Amino acid sequence: MLLKNKNAIIYGAGGAIGGAVARAFAREGAKVFCTGRTLSKLQAVATDIRKEGGWAEAVKLDALDKNSVEAYLECIAKKDGGIDISFNAIGLDDIQGLPLTQMTHAQFALPIVNAIPSHFYTATAAARHMARKGGGVILAITANVAVKPMPHSGGFGVACAAIESFCRQLAVEVGKQGVRVICLRSAGSPDAPGVDEVFNQHAEKAGITRDEFEMEMAKVTMLKRLPKLHEIANVAVLMASDRANIITGAITNVTCGEIAD
């Protein structure tokens, strides 16, 4: 098991990506602390993990609430010995389907306003705890629009670019304390409900069906397909494990070759 005896906290564990990663972490032996804003979704993920013989705790927590984030990490540190892995996968509530010229500033800025505070609060709090233990891994996830602009994606790409830049900056500051910071950049998993909704929006704008839009997206990748949720989760496991202990400050390309680094 790649994550045996590791404690992992996941923000947004009730979502498609967060839930997939939580389940994968647990299968690899981690104790998983599932947090988010909708307790019923978190409990469903935790129940799935326990049914498979894993360990999971579900706690309602808002990653935009600095005090709640820090208080819960202190609780885990006292009760379970600290945090080894922190993964922020919260939804950014981005609005897509409109050109920037038809958006209000509030609509454009919403994903940025959600991304920057939540990643700052969760990652810096985790880094302080990890530094005391002598190491740990902080993970984030973004999308291809961070470097490859797509029409009508609103402020989402800007938010993703900001997350990636933040991860690099944090990595260079906490590396000497044994803390690694890695961001996964995806092309979008078509089996995630949020991605499916966005694909529908863009397909409508383009005057094609949702399936046709997915096929068009897949055509530009080297593998001619898009990454599924379980595949993203598998890479998250690897990056969080000691087998990736020389990787930090990196944007891990999980776009099926849409982008060549």
With respect to residue 27, please indicate whether it lies within any of the assigned structural domains.
Answer: yes
With respect to residue 256, please indicate whether it lies within any of the assigned structural domains.
Answer: no
With respect to residue 56, please indicate whether it lies within any of the assigned structural domains.
Answer: yes
Same domain, 82 and 146: yes
Same domain, 34 and 159: yes
Same domain, 209 and 87: no
Same domain, 86 and 146: yes
Measure the CA–CA gap between 180 and 68, rounded to whole angstroms. 23
pTM over 0.85: yes
- pLDDT value at position 97? 86
With respect to residue 103, please indicate whether it lies within any of the assigned structural domains.
Answer: yes
Mean pLDDT in consecutive groups of 10 residues from the start of the chain, 261 residues: 97 97 98 97 98 98 98 96 97 92 97 97 98 96 94 95 98 98 95 85 87 90 95 98 98 95 80
Contacts of residue 259, defined as CB under 8 A and 6 or more positions apart, other chains included, come to 144, 147, 148, 185, 187, 253
With respect to residue 259, please indicate whether it lies within any of the assigned structural domains.
Answer: no
**How confident is the model over 162-185, as pLDDT tens digits?**
999 999 999 999 999 999 999 999
Domain that holds residue 109: 7-188+228-251
Q: Can you give the length of the chain in residues?
A: 261
**How confident is the model over 210-250, as pLDDT tens digits?**
889 889 889 999 999 999 999 999 999 999 999 999 999 99
Measure the CA–CA gap between 94 and 100, rounded to whole angstroms. 13
Measure the CA–CA gap between 188 and 145, rounded to whole angstroms. 10
Please choose, from the candidates 249, 256, 219, the residue with its C-alpha nearest in 3D space to the C-alpha of residue 235: 256
Amino acid identity, residue 149?
P
With respect to residue 11, please indicate whether it lies within any of the assigned structural domains.
Answer: yes
- pLDDT value at position 107? 97
Write down the mean pLDDT value for the chain: 95
| Total number of domains in the chain | 2
